[in-house]
Amino acid sequence: MNLNIELLREKYLSGELKVEKVISSIFEKIEQTKNYNIWIYTLNKQELEPYLKNLKTKKIEDLPLYGIPFAIKDNINLENIPTTAACKEYKYIPKQSAFVVKQLIEAGAIPIGKTNLDQFATGLVGTRSDYGECKNSINPEYISGGSSSGSAVSVALEMASFSLGTDTAGSGRVPAAFNNLIGVKATKGVISTSGVVPACRSLDCVTIFAKTLSEAKTVFNVANKYDKEDIYSRVYTPSIKKAKKEFTFAIPKKENLEFFGDEKAKDLYIKAVEKFESLGATAVEIDFEPFIESANLLYSGPWVTERYIAIKDMITNHEETVNKTVGTIVKSGEKIDAINYFESEYILKKNRKYVDEVLEKFDFILTPTTGTIYKIAEVNANPIQLNTNLGYYTNFMNLLDLSAIALPAGFRKNKLPFGVTIVGDNFDEELLFEYSSRYLSKD
């Protein structure tokens, strides 16, 4: 069944389709795809009933997400449903839903269940889970991307109209690229992280996966509400920048580009640049080294200590329950001191000045979302280095306080998708949506 938000609304309004029919078809699909390890928990009929009953007294016209099914990454709370963060021993039952989940449900959306992820949202691969390796929606030999693995695949395989992920290092963009989806990583704090198991609390973002840009924007408009209980929440105040008919955008200079031997990915990136140029744009190469230097701080600098803080009890008292690769990464944050923090902070401040200069000259920056993609077996054989490769174009984003939208950008000969990311300053979401729309509308 086509779960496009606009299409479902039309059919609900005409009476052609009932919400119960949509939910029933989704659970048939869930049953057929269990070997993809997409879901950690799906709601039963009794658990779904309050959400369906709530819609009986509401008008479709009044709710932008009336009857729209969505999936929730299992580090985001849903009331009375277990949260595990992909660690069985960590499981707890939250008494209330995360702030963003509440906003979506109030707008009429129906939660289907909780999706698989790299444990404690530590990874870009989708293979580090107590609930199995999540498989790519197009070729199950390949990784789904992570950490928001199940969230992306649930949308790609039409078990949800949209889904929520999180993004600290790229988790809301990498799975989008690997499953041919839109991935919206808004400005830090614009979508509340109240009720989210923290990875790096000062950097974490809740993200949106959807098949189309218009669907992603519909969800974003509901989700971007200020949360006074979230110490990192920010009021969404869109920048006054307007999309231009003739515009310039920045791309990394050739010596900064890295595709890890994936020549087809390189070709597809060049085509994406040319496609933007065909819209009346000029691409200008910039020195990408400050972005790379910033990206390297995410796991070598003090922010890995935030990961240690987030699961300190588990890693110190129940280390055997933590995924081995996740444990290796998180434990490295235990010994980082204040000297490291301030040295890293000074580097970031320097590089942010450079970013300010770039974004004053150019309308946006265009990068590959990732330089390549790997098979599950390849990642299992070399988990940390290949994961690091996948973060080459993503790890800097939240450290430098930028906004981004991951966009589909064609397919390799083996039918695996490639993606690019359009990058703007904080609060540049409307600008990015407009340029993205032009790009996706171009034949």
**Is residue 113's pLDDT more than 90?**
yes
Q: Per-residue pLDDT for 54 more than 80?
A: yes
State the chain's mean pLDDT as an integer: 97
Residue 215 · residue 68 · CB < 8 Å: no
Strand, coil or helix: what is 241? coil
pLDDT score of 366: 98
Of 415, 419, 390, give the one whose Cα is nearest residue 404.
Answer: 419
pLDDT tens per residue, range 152-175: 999 999 999 999 999 999 999 999
In a domain, 48, yes or no: yes
At residue 74, does pLDDT exceed 90? yes
Catalytic residues: 73, 147, 171
Do 138 and 272 lie in one domain? The reply is no
Distance separating alpha carbons of residues 235 and 351, to the nearest angstrom: 25
Same domain, 272 and 344: yes
Handedness of CA 266, 38, 67, 103 (dihedral sign): negative
Cβ neighbours for 35, distance < 8 A, ≥ 6 positions apart: 135, 140
- At residue 283, does pLDDT exceed 90? yes
- What is the pLDDT at residue 220? 98
pLDDT category at 97 given cuts 50, 70, 90 is very high
Looking at the fold, whether 214 and 147 belong to one and the same domain comes out as: yes
For the entire predicted model, the pTM comes to: 0.97
Closest CA to 177 of 279, 101, 268, 270: 268
> Angle at which helices 5-14 and 213-223 pack, to 10 degrees?
80
Which pLDDT does position 76 carry in this prediction? 98
Residue 280, pLDDT > 80, answer: yes
Tens of pLDDT, residues 4-40: 999 999 999 999 999 999 999 999 999 999 999 999 9
In a domain, 214, yes or no: yes
In a domain, 157, yes or no: yes
231 lies in some domain? no
C-alpha angle 367-368-373 in degrees, rounded to nearest 5: 160
Q: How many domains does the chain have?
A: 2
Confidence of residue 125 (pLDDT cuts 50, 70, 90): very high
Domain holding 219: CATH number? 3.90.1300.10
- The last residue of one of the domains, among 223, 258, 293, is 223
Does residue 335 carry a pLDDT above 90?
no
User: Which residue range forms the structural domain that includes residue 107?
Assistant: 5-223
